[in-house]
Amino acid sequence: MTYCCALRLKEGLVFISDTRTNAGVDHISVFRKLYTFGREGERMICIQTSGNLATTQAVIGHLRNHLALNQEPNLYSANTMFEVASLVGQILRKVIADVTDNTHEQSNYFCSLLIGGQILGEDMQLYNIYPQGNFICATSDTPYFQIGESKYGKPILDRALSYDIALDEALRCALISFDSTLRSNVSVGMPLDTLIYQKDSFIIPKGKRITEEEPYFQDISKQWSETLKKGLQDLPIPNEDFFK
Amino acid sequence: MTYCCALRLKEGLVFISDTRTNAGVDHISVFRKLYTFGREGERMICIQTSGNLATTQAVIGHLRNHLALNQEPNLYSANTMFEVASLVGQILRKVIADVTDNTHEQSNYFCSLLIGGQILGEDMQLYNIYPQGNFICATSDTPYFQIGESKYGKPILDRALSYDIALDEALRCALISFDSTLRSNVSVGMPLDTLIYQKDSFIIPKGKRITEEEPYFQDISKQWSETLKKGLQDLPIPNEDFFK
């Protein structure tokens, strides 16, 4: 499985992806699921992938191929992030249609993608692309999307995240969402790829890979466990009614 | 959907069930999913149900019918909790086989059950009964089971729960697990039914129903949100590497 999460906030975009893929529990591998495209000063596009690895790699492969061959439309000729999302959705639909010949059961080949970024002249956008190639767009009411094993890490996002939150706090919130998921589900695994984009910077961030040895992640994971344990102990004690 | 959780701890057993059932989002109802059986001073048995409502009600109906008609084996003639789990598993398998005539697709009629309790002369036990009628038993390594929408509420149990934890702290931990689930998934809903059994008491607890108006639940839910928000703010600030 996979867990990817992307936030579209007032100050910028935050992306985190795990790297575990598996074909059965006895066949796990590390594959990057976070890709960046762009031109400094003009556009930044980040794509995260979940689902069938051949499908997701084919989509990224076609996108790169279009760029390499200067084939239109491509990620750099799209005028808006909406056109970017439409292009990726069309390619995804075609990849799945090709491999299934439009006749077989398609769901085995499904994948989902998150695409966030900014093109000069418009606001940042974040899209969640479904296997059918259609998509939805994040708003200030719902400033985040998840794909893959999303349930374990959803409660902390639902409680602590808002559109106005500072980027560094949002990053910590998303990392805790990942830590919770990693602890409860072995199909999601380290290392994690993170990327933070600051609004209107039009810089293509390198991002940071977090390995199991990363002291910062170890620190927040440990401190968070202590916070939760102490927080539970500090909750008011239930009255006798519960014990009758 | 449903969320039920049961803990088998050093000091006793804790059970919490939600009460929401749905046949589509436009057809939701309140049904109790936590049932108690027993004889004061001799045995206490608690059963929680998840899945097809007709199946779960049929299983409970047969168990009650056996008792009413003094039909062997029944919940009060079983010598051990293992025999109780076997009996319930057999009834569950028969209910599903009957409705599907052993020919149709069975999974639409599936249900899962948690059964915990204590019979005089043996230790407390907790079983997770699968739709096939087989089951697994909780241990001190894995002191809890969940059925239904289990993922949202699993991280807090994985982090904070251990076999040795005090009952009142375990109850708070399980209630937070429910609060997290309720906030992230509308298919799990209030009121909640809770029941705490103290080891070797052989009392059949009345249990407590928690409604949306319950001040204690409102208090811990609010305090927990504050704990998480403050806990996130107190985490060490990520260094500049993350923003490059």
Residue A24: Cβ-neighbour burial (10 angstroms; 0-12, 13-18, 19+): exposed
Residue A198 per-residue DSSP state: E
SS3 A32: coil
Task: Specify the pLDDT at position B24.
Answer: 78
Task: Specify the pLDDT at position A219.
Answer: 96
> What are the mean pLDDT values of chain A's consecutive 10-residue runs (244 residues total)?
96 97 84 96 98 95 97 96 97 92 80 97 97 96 96 94 96 96 91 98 97 95 94 94 90
- CA atoms within 13 Å, Cβ hemisphere of B94: 12
pLDDT at residue B186 tops 70: yes
Task: Specify the pLDDT at position B147.
Answer: 97
Kindly tell me the sign of the dihedral angle through the C-alpha atoms of A93, A96, A102, A107: negative
For residue B99, what are the CA distances in angstroms to B59, B102, B148, B154? 12, 8, 22, 33
Cβ contact A143:B199 at 8 Å: no
Measured CA to CA, the distance from residue B175 to residue B220 in angstroms comes to 9
Question: In A, which residues are within 8 Å of B148 by CB distance?
Answer: none
Mutation for A interface: B36, B161, B171, B235, most A CBs within 10 A: B235
Fold of B3-234: Glutamine Phosphoribosylpyrophosphate, subunit 1, domain 1 (3.60.20)
Rounded mean pLDDT of chain B? 94
Question: In A, which residues are within 8 Å of B231 by CB distance?
Answer: 224, 227-228, 231
Task: Specify the pLDDT at position A102.
Answer: 67
What residue ranges do the domains of chain B occupy? 3-234
Instruction: Give mean pLDDT, residues B236-243.
Output: 92
Q: How far is A169 from chain B (nearest CA, A)?
A: 7
Task: Specify the pLDDT at position B134.
Answer: 97
Q: How confident is the model at residue B104 (pLDDT cuts 50, 70, 90)?
A: low
Reference B154, options B135, B134, B180, B182; nearest CA is B180
Cβ contact A152:A185 at 8 Å: yes
Instruction: Give mean pLDDT, residues B56-65.
Output: 96
Nearest-by-Cβ selection for A235 from B224, B228, B242: B224
- What ipTM describes this predicted complex? 0.88
Q: Provide the token pair at A51.
A: 């689902």
Nearest-by-Cβ selection for A216 from B159, B185, B238: B238
Instruction: Give mean pLDDT, residues B38-62.
Output: 96
Task: Specify the pLDDT at position A25.
Answer: 77
Task: Specify the pLDDT at position A104.
Answer: 66
Partner-chain contact B159 A219, CB within 8 Å:
no
Partner-chain contact B232 A155, CB within 8 Å:
no
Measured CA to CA, the distance from residue A221 to residue A213 in angstroms comes to 12
% helix, strand, coil for chain A, step of 5? 35, 25, 35
Strand order from edge to edge, sheet including B3-8 = B144-148, B3-8, B12-17, B192-198, B208-210
Beta bridge partners of A43: A39, A119
Question: In A, which residues are within 8 Å of B224 by CB distance?
Answer: 231, 235
Cis amide bond preceding A205, omega within 30 = no
Task: Specify the pLDDT at position B28.
Answer: 86
Fold of A3-233: Glutamine Phosphoribosylpyrophosphate, subunit 1, domain 1 (3.60.20)
In this prediction, what percent of chain B has a pLDDT beyond 70?
99
Q: Provide the token pair at A107.
A: 């769901």
φ, ψ of residue A118 in degrees (nearest 5): -150, 135
Q: How far is B193 from chain A (nearest CA, A)?
A: 10
pLDDT at residue B2 tops 80: yes
Nearest-by-Cβ selection for A219 from B228, B232, B236: B236
Question: In A, which residues are within 8 Å of B206 by CB distance?
Answer: 244
SS3 A66: helix
Question: In A, which residues are within 8 Å of B156 by CB distance?
Answer: 228
Partner-chain contact B172 A238, CB within 8 Å:
yes
Question: In A, which residues are within 8 Å of B155 by CB distance?
Answer: 152-153, 155, 180-181, 183-184
Cβ contact B182:B188 at 8 Å: yes
Helix (H) or strand (E) holding B119: strand B111-119
Measured CA to CA, the distance from residue B19 to residue B209 in angstroms comes to 10
Nearest chain B residue to A178, by CA: B155
Residue A71: Cβ-neighbour burial (10 angstroms; 0-12, 13-18, 19+): exposed
Task: Specify the pLDDT at position B107.
Answer: 86
